[in-house]
Amino acid sequence: MDLKRPTKDIVLTQVTLENLEDLIKISRITFSDTFGAQNSKSNLEEYLREAYSSQQLTREINGSETRFAFAYYKTELAGYLKLNVGHAQSELKEDEGLEVERIYIKSAFKRLGIGRALINYAFDQAKALSKEYIWLGVWEYNSAALAFYKKLGFLAFSDHRFNLGGDLQRDILMKKTLDIKP
């Protein structure tokens, strides 16, 4: 897979099983940074153990309908992205769509264009796969992410409830239709 070089400071690379330990670490760090303050320690730890175990992430990396990319800022691992198509999608599972299941960036690297580089990569992948739209879920209390996606033209179309530990939470589902020209 050829990943574009968005800027001289941001480099995207494909995640493979060789990167499993780095994926586990960055997944746990970024998820905790994003959701830790609003959730109990026990609920957070339970979620991290299940969602980001080596077994779970190995299954995801090996999935034919899932793709991960790391974002490096200069030489440091700064964030990552997870894309799903087909039956790997968490909700819609429609052939016309591509799901951005995760975009997470370490706190120290926010507002440097990394989120934009990752979402542009998702747009490129969707177009290369002839998808009609991209969709994603955003936690209802993540106002920065909601504003970012709205600015890019994503529109809310539904919601999704999920358990984080024992706490029922809500994601806003958002979609952007792509302009695909033959």
Q: Which of 80, 121, 133, 149 is catalytic?
A: 149
Q: What are the two backbone dihedrals, phi and then psi, of residue 42, each rounded to the nearest 5 degrees?
A: -65, -40
DSSP string, 71-100: EEETTEEEEEEEEE-GGGSSS---TTEEEE
CA distance 173 to 178: 16
Residue 141: CB partners within 8 Å, gap ≥ 6?
38
Angle at 164 between CA 18 and CA 133, to 5 degrees: 65
Is the separation of the CB atoms in 106 and 44 below 8 Å? Answer: no
Q: Where are the alpha helices (DSSP H) in 1-99?
A: 20-35, 41-51, 54-62
CA distance 171 to 149: 13
| Residue 80 appears among annotated catalytic residues | no
Active-site positions read 149
